[in-house]
Amino acid sequence: MFSTTTLAALLTVATAALAQEGGAASSVAQLVAQLRAAPTEVDRFRLLSEEDLLFDFNNPATTNGVTTGSAGHTVAASSANFPALIGQGVAMTIGYLGPCGMNSPHTHPRATEINFSVNTTLRGGVLVENGARFAEIDIRPGTATIFPQGAIHFEMNPSCEEAMFVAGFNGEDPGVQQVAQRFFGLPPDILAATLGGLGIQEIANLEAYIPDNVIIGVEECLQRCGIERTAQPTSQRQPRVGSNAFPEAIEAVNVYDLIIEDEEAGAAPEAGAEGEGEQEEGEAEAGTEEEEQDEEEPEEGDEEAGAEEEGSEAPEEEEGSEELDGEEAGAEGEEVETGEGETEPVAEGEDEDEESEGAEPVEAEESEEETPEAEEPAGDESAEEDGEVAEPAESEPAESEPAEEAEGEAEAETGYGTKTIVISVLSAEPTPAAEA
């Protein structure tokens, strides 16, 4: 534990420090009071030392007059922190803007500003009063513009590098008020009516969203410079008293938190929707596979049935082709028999063959007149042969290929077989002569 002597020493040091700080503040206040009371400029100048005549913007002695935000800061020299300005009617602010940084819309209620751009083109804008047009000015390096006293104006650095400006005022105490913070510092019910009946909760949320100056600038610049917008401090809001306080039931929620909640809430439904989509796709694929299987099964059955039909038709076609081959062979056999002397039946067969092939009827009539005696036996034979050939054809429509080939060979060897085939053809398509 500390001894009594040690505690007494610590207490003395703390008291001295407080006295020194209070003495410094007291000395500044006393100096300002003396300067204001001095009757002449000579008297005021006599009260100031060489150190009092110098103000360091890069390393200010106190935080008084320094405004810091996420995208830069400003340092103001006024009668509040630079007593040498008392009675001089001037003040100055230096702005240090980061890439895409902006000195947010504000006014100077007691002075006109002349703004000078040092190293880059600044985007400036001004609204003087009701009825006046909005003017936007590009303040190029080495040029300056003016913002009339009380006019709403801003300066933004649209480049991706650091920018600096110098603002001079025609008053030692120009004052400054940020438009957004001061406007939302009005009584909530007045704001609600001014904004067309907006809810108190919405007003509280918006007020909690207003960032500290110097703020992060417009989205186009951020995208061009590859800068991500992040949450910004909001300590420069209007202090609340009884007359402008929010109702006790209203608790302000920073909109950044609302955005995060919305993103998380939106991510969950999207994940669910993706799961449902995958499930639906799986079901759709399963359905299509089942449909394809159902379609393939009938197709396979149809193909098998078609193959069976082709198999059954093929023997019939082969049988018909074999009968035609037998007919041709029979025709050759008839010609041989005609060589032996039986010319009349051959002529009749040839005429009938020509009729079956589309020959003219006149030739058939001539052959009938030449061979009247041979027609009657042919008719008898045709009748007999018709009965013999037709019955097996009806009872046995489909015979195996080996049996047909054997019959064809036997018929080709004997003349009677040849005659049978020819007569069967004639009997299948009777001519007018045969009917007679």
Model pLDDT, residue 191: 96
pLDDT top residue among 419 and 286: 286
- pLDDT beyond 50 at 105: yes
Average pLDDT (169-197) is 97
**The tokens of 48 are what?**
């100031």
Which range is least confidently modeled, 103-117, 191-205, 283-297? Answer: 283-297
Average pLDDT over all residues of the chain: 73
Instruction: Give me the half-sphere count of Cα atoms (radius 13 Å) on the Cβ side of residue 121.
Output: 7
**Cα distance from N-terminal residue to C-terminal residue, the chain:** 155
Q: φ and ψ at 106, to 5 degrees?
A: -155, 175
Distance CA 416, CA 384 (A): 13
For 373-409, the pLDDT digits (tens) are 444 444 444 444 444 444 444 444 444 454 444 444 4
Model pLDDT, residue 397: 45
Which range is least confidently modeled, 37-46, 250-259, 368-377? Answer: 368-377
Nearest to 87 by CA among 176, 167, 171: 171
Model pLDDT, residue 28: 76
Q: Which residues contact 219 (CB under 8 A, 6 or more apart)?
A: 229
Q: Residue for token digits 């909690």? A: 208
For 227-280, the pLDDT digits (tens) are 999 999 999 999 999 999 999 999 887 655 545 555 566 655 555 555 555 555
Distance CA 165, CA 114 (A): 10
pLDDT top residue among 137 and 274: 137
What angle do the packed helices 343-356 and 361-370 form, to 10 degrees?
160
- pLDDT beyond 50 at 174: yes
- pLDDT beyond 70 at 339: no
Which range is least confidently modeled, 27-36, 164-173, 176-185? Answer: 27-36
Q: Based on the number of CB atoms within 10 Å of its own CB, is 30 exposed (0-12), middle (13-18) or buried (19 or more)?
A: exposed
pLDDT category of residue 146 using cuts at 50, 70 and 90:
very high
Instruction: Tell how strand 152-156 and strand 122-127 pair up.
Output: antiparallel
pLDDT category of residue 281 using cuts at 50, 70 and 90:
low
Nearest to 153 by CA among 115, 183, 191, 116: 115
pLDDT category of residue 4 using cuts at 50, 70 and 90:
low
Distance CA 166, CA 150 (A): 18
Average pLDDT (368-375) is 45
If DSSP codes are grouped into helix, strand and coil, which group holds residue 124?
Answer: strand
- The conformation of residue 227, written as its DSSP 8-state character, comes to -
**The tokens of 130 are what?**
């009701």
Average pLDDT (25-39) is 85
> In angstroms, how far is CA 351 from the centroid of its own chain?
85
Model pLDDT, residue 27: 76
Model pLDDT, residue 155: 98
- pLDDT beyond 90 at 221: yes
Model pLDDT, residue 37: 94
pLDDT category of residue 430 using cuts at 50, 70 and 90:
low
For 69-87, the pLDDT digits (tens) are 999 999 999 999 999 999 9
Instruction: Give me the half-sphere count of Cα atoms (radius 13 Å) on the Cβ side of residue 363.
Output: 14
pLDDT top residue among 252 and 165: 165
Model pLDDT, residue 366: 45
